[in-house]
Amino acid sequence: MANIFPSRRIRRTPFSKGVEAAGVKGYTVYNHMLLATVFESLEYDCAHLKEHVQVWDVSCERQVSIKGPDALRLLKLISPRDMDRMADDQCYYVPTVDHNGGMLNDPVAVKLAADHYWLSLADGDLLQFALGIAIARGFDVEIVEPDVSPLAVQGPRADDLMARVFGDAVREIRFFRYKRLAFQGVELVVARSGWSKQGGFEIYVEGADLGMPLWDALFEAGEDMHVRAGCPNTIERIESGLLSYGNDMTRENTPYECGLGKFCNSPEDYIGKAALAEQAANGPARQIRPLVISGEIPPCLDAWPLFADGRQVGQVGSAIFSPEFGVNAAIGMVDQSHWAPGTVMEVDTGAGILPATVQDRFWR
Ligand code: THG
């Protein structure tokens, strides 16, 4: 593929200088912003992540800040998840849907105060959806994209590295909870979360000026821990079954199809609830499944159709060879008729038709 021409419109981040100095080899664009995809190689980066600790510039997980007397009212309209149960220090994975129940985004919501929330976005312009609803309903809220850039620290040594920079208090942070901890006198939200299953934290860095000082402090503190710059790793996240909006699911899919029905427990009349009622009662007709594809696969750049019994029965949205498990691991959306574990279909990769077998579960 040819290079993407860089410009102001493809936004850099507060950590871009550090990412470049660390030898980034590939980028994608996510929320109109640079997101690194590879440093050494996908395989090397993945193995290192599983053994040591990495610092990830995930600034592209942009925040939609919703603040004001009607903040919770607005959230209850755009969230299928019961927001009343959310603790003051909690983060919630929240599939958000349109009036047809189609997925618009799958952000992490962070409760900063009873009248102030952040939605930490996947790739999509959810701010405009929230703003449109707020204006149409005359809600008293301020909706902005603040100068907040998440920096993730992921891997088995994440607790040890973070403790050196933020103190031992980080060790007490529970999964999807946060504490406000100081760096250079500025209190930052530090949550136990991140887009890997290797454990770790996300620091919501408020103020771009703090970016490189924090980046440098983490690398200095982690010198003897083999700390490296990393990024969400395609191999690790497919093995882990972490869904990628735009790849594994789009507005064509409901949260039930994405296996996110457990996050649709709101008693409120949220947007899309009526459209989802049928699936809430009877389940979806197709759903996300882990698959193994036999043979040599090319990079998955388009949805690959799945065929069986002479018809299409689903599609694959992500696929990659897993060195740890020795298989091509894939994430597919599969019709109920063919989603049982062990079912074999044929997948058209564009470079050949290969067998694809439904798995019991993801790899971790
Ligand atoms: N962290 C933050 N913002 C984000 C992401 C993140 N925005 C973009 C993207 N990732 C949003 N999508 C996801 C998908 C999965 C998870 C988080 C965000 C995730 N899921 C866990 C799981 O599936 O096991 C836990 C879900 C739960 O139990 O609540 O972590 O990573 N800030």
Each residue of 173-201: pLDDT tens digit? 999 999 999 999 999 999 999 999 999 99
- 29 SS3 class: strand
The finding on whether 123 has its CB within 6 A of some atom of ligand 1 is no
Q: Please, how many CA atoms are within 13 Å of residue 311, restricted to the half-sphere of its CB?
A: 5
The finding on whether 93 has its CB within 6 A of some atom of ligand 1 is yes
Nearest-atom index, ligand 1, CA of 176? 29
Distance CA 86, CA 252 (A): 28
Q: Is 86's pLDDT higher than 90?
A: yes
CATH number at residue 97: 3.30.70.1400
- Percentage of the chain surpassing pLDDT 90? 99
Cβ(201)–Cβ(108) below 8 Å: no
According to DSSP, the β-strands at 228-230 and 54-57 are parallel
The finding on whether 193 has its CB within 6 A of some atom of ligand 1 is yes
Position 1 scores a pLDDT of 78
Using one digit for the tens of pLDDT, what is the confidence trace for 4-51?
999 999 999 999 999 999 999 999 999 999 999 999 999 999 999 999
| 70 and 55 together in one domain | no
Residue 277, in any domain of the structure = no
| 74 and 35 together in one domain | no
Residues 238-264, mean pLDDT to the nearest whole number: 98
* Gyration radius of the chain's alpha carbons: 21
3-state secondary structure the chain: CCCCCCCCCCECCCCHHHHHHCCCCEEEEECCEEEEEECCCHHHHHHHHHHCCEEEECCCCCEEEEECCCHHHHHHHHCCCCHHHCCCCEEEECCEECCCCCEEECCEEEEEECCEEEEECCCCCHHHHHHHHHHHHCCCCEEECCCEEEEEEECCCHHHHHHHHHCHHHHHCCECEEEEEEECCEEEEEEECCCCCCCEEEEEEECHHHHHHHHHHHHHHCHHHCCEEECCCHHHHHHHCCCCECCCECCCCCCCCCCCHHHCCCCCCCCCHHHHHHHHHHCCCEEEEEEEECCCCCCCCCCEEEEECCEEEEEEEEEEEECCCCEEEEEEEEEHHHCCCCCEEEEECCCCEEEEEECCCCCC
Residue 133, in any domain of the structure = yes
The finding on whether 61 has its CB within 6 A of some atom of ligand 1 is yes
The encoded tokens of residue 158 equal 């994440």
| 46 and 153 together in one domain | yes
Using one digit for the tens of pLDDT, what is the confidence trace for 306-360?
999 999 999 999 999 999 999 999 999 999 999 999 999 999 999 999 999 999 9
Cβ(323)–Cβ(46) below 8 Å: yes
| 293 and 306 together in one domain | yes
CATH number at residue 42: 3.30.1360.120
- Ligand 1 centre to CA of 244 (Å) is 9
| 209 and 134 together in one domain | no
Mutate which of 153, 193, 204 for ligand 1 pocket (most atoms within 8 A of beta carbon): 193
Q: Report the domain count for the chain.
A: 3
Domain span including residue 131: 63-144
Distance CA 282, CA 333 (A): 18
| 44 and 105 together in one domain | no
Q: pTM score, two decimals?
A: 0.98
Mutate which of 93, 110, 153, 248 for ligand 1 pocket (most atoms within 8 A of beta carbon): 93
Residue 125, in any domain of the structure = yes
Using one digit for the tens of pLDDT, what is the confidence trace for 102-149?
999 999 999 999 999 999 999 999 999 999 999 999 999 999 999 999
Position 252 scores a pLDDT of 98
Residue owning the nearest CA to atom 24 of ligand 1: 242
Residue 28, in any domain of the structure = yes
Residue 303, in any domain of the structure = yes
Residue 265, in any domain of the structure = no
| Boundary residue ending a domain (237, 262, 295) | 237
* pLDDT range class, residue 2, cuts 50, 70, 90: confident
The finding on whether 236 has its CB within 6 A of some atom of ligand 1 is no
| 210 and 104 together in one domain | no
Asked whether residue 202 is marked as a ligand-binding residue, the answer is: yes
| Boundary residue ending a domain (144, 161, 192) | 144
* pLDDT range class, residue 219, cuts 50, 70, 90: very high
- Percentage of the chain surpassing pLDDT 70? 100
Position 364 scores a pLDDT of 96
| Boundary residue ending a domain (114, 144, 174) | 144
Mean pLDDT for the chain overall: 98
| 168 and 316 together in one domain | no
Residues 226-249, mean pLDDT to the nearest whole number: 98
Residue 164, in any domain of the structure = yes
Nearest-atom index, ligand 1, CA of 105? 11
* pLDDT range class, residue 285, cuts 50, 70, 90: very high
Position 167 scores a pLDDT of 98
The finding on whether 13 has its CB within 6 A of some atom of ligand 1 is no
The finding on whether 108 has its CB within 6 A of some atom of ligand 1 is yes
